[in-house]
């Protein structure tokens, strides 16, 4: 037993110290989560005035609903796009930061500032700059590249714009962790690379990335969770799920069903499914990393 | 002889490879990518100084003639100051509350031994599996039942417990030198005093880092305030920006004003990030 | 060894004591401040419940969905009332869009904290009734102090169910047609004779666009309200069960010729570049497009007349208004839109009295006229109309009269009474998204209408099931 653990003896004291945390997680985390499970097997009217037990009916109606299934597909596609893009951009920037010899401190701050960027700000700014009618990006895209920007009507364009906003906001966070991981690369390894004449890209991809794999796995998990849940503000501000549900991610569908259509039982069922999906994804990601990560 | 030459050749080659990537291209790469990431914000700032007609003259990206008028009006006429104060209060309460609560929990988990300790720790850690959307409907109902709807209590309560904070603080506390712990035991110091006088001073960096993370996280919240606050004047600034979208003059959306609002919304967390970047980076393991 | 560890390194303690104290102060101070503010913000809504205010005032909370200049007018009305009453204070609270306000109200009901007075959108009436949280106005307001016959028929009819007036009409609107008279002249179209049917609009649009006078002919927001109105003009109910008024409807009539005609016209206009699709629910964007001269014509609520008039002046053109276009040659009339006011059940006598005073005051001709003049919502009582006519208002502001005339020429029928259904929000979303699908993808209008119908029917049935 370490000295730390015997610093104080009173068990009661320990529980008292833990009380605020335990009370908070009991009230705000466990209790509602269990309630979600319970509500998901009821059909509700308004805010709980009438509830009727319906077993798995909510789940079956979700799993047979085209809108819902489309939403599942969209969310996976969105997550894949955002996770991969964020990692790629983050890796590039982190690598450049690692390689630069002068002005590291200044570059660092300039590179990670998006960490402080609120999602709603990212959405609002891009909504304007890429606005099909008055956006400056639209203007240049249309005049220089002849691309027709119409993401208020064209689904995949809206999807892309939201994804770009999501990546923009998340890159800062990734850069921080990746740079930390790169900093842990032993200098001797760098010297060895130099001596062996290993080219830059090979060095990055063959040497650094495997070394960074625990961090990268961690970031994949974090980015996935962000793509699934954190994108809500972007959707609500930029597209409201449209056009025609092209950006109707699971989190947005949940919000609509719960707070616009007042269908609490159904929304709870959606929460349960979301939980299973994200939990499942996390588990898979960690398992895969076990096999491929080099520790 | 041959070996020497080879080594020379190699070192010549390696100084050649040292040029790749030469610092110039690294600098260029960094500047380009940073500009790319900053361009939306820079454009937003420029546009926020433009008047409505200037905004609608799309190709015009020169600083406008409205100067800071938009900032003043968005803060006063459009209540952004109120929203910012609301956000500030919420974020400060959550930051202070979360850290205080987690400090206590970490002390209990590190400096005590009791049955179920590991179980409790796991119980806390497991909550990471339940992000807000998974519990949002009953959580909302809970607020209604408690009569907390539309109040600061509802905005802050659910954020007070944090597995991440407990985890990080626990890690940190476990590395407190034994000598200090022994001294505490010998002096018969109580846990709270130990916390104030030893642990907190020794964890200032981490606590500050956690503070920054929590503040930024809390300032950023959107979905929860959206549903739990129904009075506009109690709303936080993130959702407040949504209200700005319907502002217009004779039917033309005043994007300059909205950009001013967006820039203002970004400033506090950005300021906190820049001011406290060192402790923050340390907390993430990126020591300078 | 032991000597070294007997005390904490005193240097550390000395250095830290200041920081500690500061941190303690910071922590406790901020926490205290936080909790106090929490207290202040938190108890507000509780104490307002069924308790007379400290100065003997009874407080009435009015939750509404009126933003912009509409909201300012609401506030002006409330403060006027507060000034002239020494016992009642009306507190207004803007809750956002109609949907957001409806949600805020329904969840407040669930929490047992409904506001005394709520503004609920027209299509939310069925839900409001089913919630059981409101008391019918006809029962609540003393019949000797309010003259129900003073209200115009279509308005009272709309908000009556089972022969009882459930809510108090407040802001009622019609959709009307707006157009840019200057552009019409330029295009060689008669600026005093606006198009009256969808076909005529198409023709006018073609002229305007081919002459390069505007980018597209017409714009309007993608809201289900407009197709609903076209159904009414064609004399067709939108849903079964007498348009949802006899009972909860189970079917929506999207498989009819009328539906086909409407949506085909709408989608063809877009495909041929004659219609500017401002977006789902994009009232503001549509107004912008019209005021900026992107289109020569615009359809919107009469509630936009005040701001549109100002906007047209700023943009230097003459604004014209006309009746809502019909999908065919027959013109049956329009359904009123807007919202009404609902009184919560179970109020204390004091609150009920206070609220009654306010509502009676609000329904007076002066207030109705004030509301109309500042918004464009038409005056809903005959006495208000009389007052406005007497002061020559309509003569000076013909655009404000359009909606009103249109209303008085409307034939009363099941179709023009307006549809009702509990899950109206969801059905409307389906229709709006359905349209976007039609213009976005290869699906034909007929196919899409069929799938919209089956989805909507399911939603309607689900509502009945969940009522239990």
Q: Most A CBs within 10 Å: which of C118, C276, C466, C468, as the mutation test of the A interface?
A: C466
Q: Are residues B202 and B89 in the same domain?
A: yes
pTM of the shown model: 0.82
Residue C5 falls inside a structural domain? no
* Longest Cα separation, chain C: 105
Closest CA to A237 of A138, A141, A127, A136: A127
Q: Are residues B236 and B131 in the same domain?
A: yes
- Strands C58-64, C88-94: pairing is parallel
Average pLDDT score, chain B:
84
pLDDT at residue B247, as a whole number? 67
pLDDT per residue as tens digits for the range A80-102: 999 999 999 999 999 988 888 88
> Are A5 and B105 a contacting pair at CB < 8 A?
no
Residue B115 vs residue C10, higher pLDDT: B115
Q: What is the CATH number of the domain that holds B208?
A: 1.10.3720.10
> Are A275 and B134 a contacting pair at CB < 8 A?
yes
Domain count, chain B: 2
Q: Are residues C255 and C134 in the same domain?
A: no
Q: Is C38 an 8 Å CB contact of chain B?
A: yes
Asked whether the beta carbons of A48 and C110 are under 8 A apart, the reply is yes
Q: Is C108 an 8 Å CB contact of chain B?
A: yes
Q: Are residues C309 and C280 in the same domain?
A: yes
Q: Distance (Å, rounded) from C-alpha B8 to C-alpha C206?
A: 80
Q: Most B CBs within 10 Å: which of A44, A48, A121, A129, as the mutation test of the B interface?
A: A121
Q: Within 13 Å of residue B149, how many CA atoms lie on the same side as its CB?
A: 25
pLDDT at residue C54, as a whole number? 44
Looking at CA atoms only, how far is residue B98 from chain A in angstroms? Answer: 9
Percent of chain A with pLDDT over 70: 96
**CA gyration radius for chain A?**
24
Q: Is A69 an 8 Å CB contact of chain C?
A: no
> Are B105 and A27 a contacting pair at CB < 8 A?
no
Chains touching chain B through at least 3 C-beta pairs below 8 angstroms are: A, C
> Are B265 and A199 a contacting pair at CB < 8 A?
no
In angstroms, what CA-CA distances link C393 with C176, C321, C379, C389, C398?
A: 19, 16, 12, 6, 8
Q: Which of C399, C434, C450 marks a domain boundary?
A: C399
Domain count, chain C: 2
Residue B265 falls inside a structural domain? yes
Other C-beta atoms closer than 10 Å to the C-beta of C4 total 9
Residue C348 falls inside a structural domain? yes
Q: With 70 as the cut, is the pLDDT of residue A272 above it?
A: yes
Q: Which of C349, C383, C399 marks a domain boundary?
A: C399
Q: Are residues C306 and C411 in the same domain?
A: yes
Residue A113 vs residue C7, higher pLDDT: A113
Q: Which residues pair with A267 in a beta bridge?
A: none
Span between the terminal Cα atoms of chain B, in Å: 44
Q: Are residues B32 and B79 in the same domain?
A: no
Asked whether the beta carbons of C206 and C274 are under 8 A apart, the reply is yes
Instruction: Provide the domain limits for residue B22.
Output: 2-47
What angle separates helix B80-111 from helix C10-48, to the nearest 10 degrees?
130
Asked whether the beta carbons of A138 and A131 are under 8 A apart, the reply is yes
Span between the terminal Cα atoms of chain C, in Å: 78
Residue C82 falls inside a structural domain? yes
C3 → chain B, closest CA residue: B183
Q: Are residues B87 and B154 in the same domain?
A: yes
Q: Distance (Å, rounded) from C-alpha A62 to C-alpha A54?
A: 14
Q: Are residues B139 and B33 in the same domain?
A: no
Q: Are residues B103 and B218 in the same domain?
A: yes
Instruction: Provide the domain limits for residue C378.
Output: 58-172+338-399
Q: Which two tokens stand for residue B192?
A: 């709270």
Closest CA to C455 of C262, C254, C315: C254
> Are C131 and A244 a contacting pair at CB < 8 A?
no
Stretches where chain C sits below pLDDT 50 are: 1-54
Closest CA to B109 of A7, C28, A28: A7
Q: Which two tokens stand for residue C56?
A: 């003997």
Minimum mean pLDDT range among A138-147, B110-119, B245-254, C115-124: B245-254
Burial of B5 (0-12, 13-18, 19+ CB in 10 A): exposed
Q: With 60 as the cut, is the pLDDT of residue B104 above it?
A: yes
Q: Is C27 an 8 Å CB contact of chain B?
A: yes
Going by the DSSP 8-state scheme, the letter that residue B127 receives in this structure is: G
B125 → chain A, closest CA residue: A25
Q: Which chain B residues have a beta carbon less than 8 Å from that of A47?
A: 141, 144
Q: Which chain B residues have a beta carbon less than 8 Å from that of A17?
A: 104-105, 107-108, 112, 191
Q: Distance (Å, rounded) from C-alpha A126 to C-alpha A135?
A: 9
Phi, psi (degrees; rounded to nearest 5) at C326: -100, 155
B230 → chain C, closest CA residue: C95
Other C-beta atoms closer than 10 Å to the C-beta of C373 total 16
Residue B132 vs residue B18, higher pLDDT: B132
Residue C297 falls inside a structural domain? yes
Q: Within 13 Å of residue C253, how many CA atoms lie on the same side as its CB?
A: 24
Q: Which chain B residues have a beta carbon less than 8 Å from that of A120?
A: 220, 222, 238-239, 241-242, 265
Q: What is the CATH number of the domain that holds C235?
A: 3.40.190.10
Q: Are residues C362 and C411 in the same domain?
A: no
Other C-beta atoms closer than 10 Å to the C-beta of C327 total 23
Q: Distance (Å, rounded) from C-alpha C76 to C-alpha C70?
A: 10
Supply the ipTM of this predicted assembly: 0.88
Residue C12 falls inside a structural domain? no
Q: Which chain B residues have a beta carbon less than 8 Å from that of A9?
A: 112
Task: Name all domains of chain A by residue range, CATH numbers in brackets.
Answer: 4-53 (no CATH), 59-292 (1.10.3720.10)
Phi, psi (degrees; rounded to nearest 5) at C297: -135, 160
Q: Are residues B139 and B279 in the same domain?
A: yes
Q: Are residues C260 and C289 in the same domain?
A: yes
Facing residue for B43 by CB, picked from A22, A24, A129: A129
Q: With b meaning 16 or more CB within 10 Å and e meaning fewer, what string describes C9-47? A: eeeeeeebeeeeeebeeebeebeeebbebbeebbeebee
Q: Are residues B126 and B251 in the same domain?
A: yes
A12 → chain B, closest CA residue: B114
* Longest Cα separation, chain A: 75
Q: With 50 as the cut, is the pLDDT of residue B8 above it?
A: no
Q: Which of C383, C399, C415 marks a domain boundary?
A: C399
Q: Are residues C331 and C375 in the same domain?
A: no
C459 → chain A, closest CA residue: A261
> Are C30 and B93 a contacting pair at CB < 8 A?
yes
Handedness of CA B79, B83, B85, B86 (dihedral sign): positive
């Amino acid at each position: 037993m370490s000295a730390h653990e015997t610093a104080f003896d009173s068990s009661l004291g320990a529980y008292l110290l833990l009380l605020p945390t335990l009370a908070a997680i009991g009230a705000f985390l466990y209790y509602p989560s269990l309630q979600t499970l319970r509500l998901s097997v009821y059909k509700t009217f308004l805010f709980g005035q009438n509830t009727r037990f319906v077993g798995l009916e909510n789940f079956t109606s979700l799993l047979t609903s085209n809108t819902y299934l489309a939403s599942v597909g969209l969310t996976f596609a969105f997550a894949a796009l955002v996770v991969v893009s964020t990692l790629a951009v983050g890796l590039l920037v982190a690598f450049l930061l690692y390689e630069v010899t002068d002005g590291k401190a200044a570059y660092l701050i300039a590179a990670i500032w998006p960490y402080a960027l609120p999602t709603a700000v990212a959405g609002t700014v891009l909504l304007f700059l890429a606005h099909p009618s008055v956006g400056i990006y639209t203007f240049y895209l249309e005049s220089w590249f002849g691309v027709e920007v119409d993401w208020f009507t064209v689904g995949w364009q809206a999807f892309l714009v939201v994804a770009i906003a999501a990546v923009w906001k998340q890159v800062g966070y990734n850069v921080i962790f990746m740079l930390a991981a790169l900093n842990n690369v032993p200098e001797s390894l760098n010297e060895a690379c130099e001596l062996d004449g290993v080219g830059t890209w090979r060095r990055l991809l063959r040497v650094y990335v495997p070394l960074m794999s625990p961090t990268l796995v961690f970031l994949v998990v974090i980015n996935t969770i962000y793509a699934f849940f954190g994108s809500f503000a972007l959707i609500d501000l930029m597209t409201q799920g449209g056009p025609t549900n092209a950006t109707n991610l699971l989190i947005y569908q949940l919000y609509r069903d719960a707070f616009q259509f007042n269908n609490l039982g159904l929304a709870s069922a959606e929460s349960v499914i979301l939980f299973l999906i994200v939990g499942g994804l996390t588990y898979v990601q960690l398992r895969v990393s076990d096999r491929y990560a080099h520790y | 002889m041959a070996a020497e030459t080879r080594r020379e050749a190699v070192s010549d080659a390696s100084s050649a490879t040292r040029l790749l990537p030469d610092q110039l291209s690294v600098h260029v790469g960094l500047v380009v990518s940073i500009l790319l990431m900053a361009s939306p914000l820079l454009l937003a700032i420029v546009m926020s100084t433009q008047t409505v007609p200037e905004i609608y003259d799309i190709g015009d990206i020169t600083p406008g003639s409205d100067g800071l008028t938009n900032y003043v009006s968005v803060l006063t006429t459009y209540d952004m100051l109120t929203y910012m104060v609301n956000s500030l209060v919420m974020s400060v309460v959550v930051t202070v509350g979360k850290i205080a609560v987690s400090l206590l929990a970490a002390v209990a988990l590190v400096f005590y031994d009791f049955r179920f300790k590991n179980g409790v720790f796991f119980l806390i850690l497991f909550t990471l599996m339940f992000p807000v959307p998974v519990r949002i409907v009953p959580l909302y109902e809970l607020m209604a039942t408690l009569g907390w709807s539309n109040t600061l209590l509802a905005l802050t309560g659910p954020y007070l417990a944090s597995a991440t904070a407990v985890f990080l603080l626990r890690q940190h506390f476990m590395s407190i030198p034994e000598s200090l712990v022994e001294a505490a035991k010998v002096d018969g110091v109580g846990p709270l005093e130990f916390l104030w006088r030893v642990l907190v001073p020794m964890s200032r960096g981490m606590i500050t880092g956690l503070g920054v993370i929590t503040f930024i996280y809390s300032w950023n919240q959107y979905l929860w305030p959206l549903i739990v606050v129904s009075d506009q004047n109690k709303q936080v600034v993130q959702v407040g920006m949504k209200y700005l979208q319907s502002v217009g003059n004779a039917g033309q959306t005043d994007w300059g004003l909205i950009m001013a609002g967006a820039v203002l919304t970004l400033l506090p967390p950005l300021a906190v990030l820049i001011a406290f970047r060192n402790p923050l980076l340390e907390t993430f393991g990126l020591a300078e | 060894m032991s000597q070294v560890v007997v005390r904490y390194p005193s240097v550390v303690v000395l250095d830290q004591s200041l920081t500690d104290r500061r941190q303690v102060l910071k922590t406790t101070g901020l926490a205290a401040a936080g909790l106090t503010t929490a207290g202040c913000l938190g108890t507000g809504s509780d104490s307002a419940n069924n308790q007379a205010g400290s100065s003997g005032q009874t407080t009435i909370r009015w939750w509404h969905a009126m933003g912009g200049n509409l909201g300012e007018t609401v506030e002006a009305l409330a403060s006027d009332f507060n000034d002239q009453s020494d016992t009642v204070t009306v507190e207004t609270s803007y809750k956002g869009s109609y949907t957001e306000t409806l949600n805020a109200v329904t969840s407040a009901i669930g929490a047992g904290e409904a506001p005394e007075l709520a503004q609920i959108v027209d299509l939310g009436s069925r839900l409001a009734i089913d919630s059981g949280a409101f008391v019918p106005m006809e029962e609540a307001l003393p019949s000797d102090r309010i003259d129900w016959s003073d209200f115009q028929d279509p308005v009272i009819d709309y908000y009556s169910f089972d022969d009882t007036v459930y809510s108090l009409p407040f802001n009622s609107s019609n959709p009307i047609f707006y157009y840019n008279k200057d552009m019409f002249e330029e295009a060689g179209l008669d600026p005093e004779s606006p198009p009256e049917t969808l076909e005529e609009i198409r023709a006018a649009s073609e002229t305007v666009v081919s002459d390069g006078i505007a980018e597209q002919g017409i714009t309007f927001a993608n809201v289900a309200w407009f197709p609903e109105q076209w159904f009414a003009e064609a004399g067709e109910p939108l849903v079964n069960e007498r348009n949802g008024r006899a009972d909860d409807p189970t079917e929506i009539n999207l498989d009819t010729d009328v539906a086909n005609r409407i949506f085909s016209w709408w989608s063809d206009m877009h495909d041929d570049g004659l219609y500017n699709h401002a977006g789902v629910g994009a009232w503001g964007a549509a107004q912008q497009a019209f005021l900026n001269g992107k289109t020569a014509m615009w359809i919107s609520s009469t509630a936009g007349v005040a701001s549109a008039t100002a906007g047209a002046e700023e943009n230097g053109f003459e604004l014209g208004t006309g009746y809502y276009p019909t999908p065919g040659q027959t013109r049956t009339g329009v359904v009123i839109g807007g919202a009404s006011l609902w009184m919560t059940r179970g109020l204390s006598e004091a609150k009920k009295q206070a609220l009654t005073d306010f509502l009676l005051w609000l329904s007076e001709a002066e207030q109705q006229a004030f509301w109309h003049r500042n918004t464009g919502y038409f005056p809903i009582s005959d006495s208000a109309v009389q007052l406005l006519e007497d002061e020559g208002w309509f003569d000076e502001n013909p655009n404000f009269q359009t909606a009103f005339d249109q209303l008085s020429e409307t034939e009363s029928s099941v179709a023009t009474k307006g549809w009702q259904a509990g899950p109206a929000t969801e059905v409307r979303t389906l229709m709006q998204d359905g349209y976007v699908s039609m213009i976005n993808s290869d699906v034909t209008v007929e196919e899409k209408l069929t799938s919209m119908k089956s989805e909507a029917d399911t939603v309607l049935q689900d509502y009945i099931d969940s009522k239990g």
